[in-house]
Amino acid sequence: MKSKLSLFIVIIFLSFCFVIFYKGLNNPNIYAPKIEGKKNLPTFKAKNFISSSYLNSEKIFEEDTFYIVNIWASWCVPCRTEHPLLMKLSKNKSVKLIGINYKDNFNNAKKFIDEFGNPYSQIIIDNDGTLSVEFGAYGVPETFIIDKSKKIIRKFIGPINKEIVEEIKLIIK
């Protein structure tokens, strides 16, 4: 009886370990917390890419519309793949795109915009990456959706694709 119980405990323990490790195998390496509910938009002051003047976040997000904040850089290869999709999204009248140029060289960033087009209604500069941290970003590219009540309602890590664009369209409808 005693040996049977010990065997049962060992089997339960091994099964538990197997399930934990098997589940761990399928987990992505990069941890991404789920956005539970809406998050407040950070308040900040940032330099405008074109005019070099400083703008408050209230001024940037002043209109009563949905905003998409996209963190990008000219040195970021995945940013090039998502750029045509952002160009398409920029044609949508019910949303405004704000670009955050992340740790970039001004001339390279300008060349990038001149070459691939400018989908953003405004571009702000984040030279040291601290503004991106205020948004809760890990790096580039990253995209955030801000609703009319100025709350971050969705976050996409990595380049956006057609499925994500469809999801965005459904949200901003």
Partner 1 sequence: MKILKIFIILFLSVGFFNLKADEKNDELKNKILKNIRCLICQGQSVYDSESEFASSIKLIVDRKLNEGIKEKQIYEFLREKYGDWVVYKPEINKNTYILWLLPLLLFLIGGAIIYKIISKKNEK
Interacting residues with partner 1 (CB under 8 A): 29-31, 33, 39, 103, 128-130, 132-136, 138-139
Closest CB 37 distance from partner 1, rounded Å: 12
**Closest CB to partner 1 among 121 and 139?**
139
**Closest CB to partner 1 among 29 and 51?**
29
Closest CB 6 distance from partner 1, rounded Å: 13
Please, how many CA atoms are within 13 Å of residue 120, restricted to the half-sphere of its CB?
Answer: 25
- Cis peptide before 141, with omega less than 30 degrees from 0? yes
Given the structure tokens 């309602």, which residue do they identify?
153
Closest CB 24 distance from partner 1, rounded Å: 14
The secondary structure of residue 141, as a DSSP letter, is S
66 in Cβ contact with 146 (< 8 Å): yes
Closest CA to 144 of 21, 53, 40: 40
Q: How far is residue 151's CA from residue 160's CA, in Å, rounded to a whole number?
A: 20
Closest CB 84 distance from partner 1, rounded Å: 25
**Closest CB to partner 1 among 33 and 162?**
33
**Closest CB to partner 1 among 24 and 33?**
33
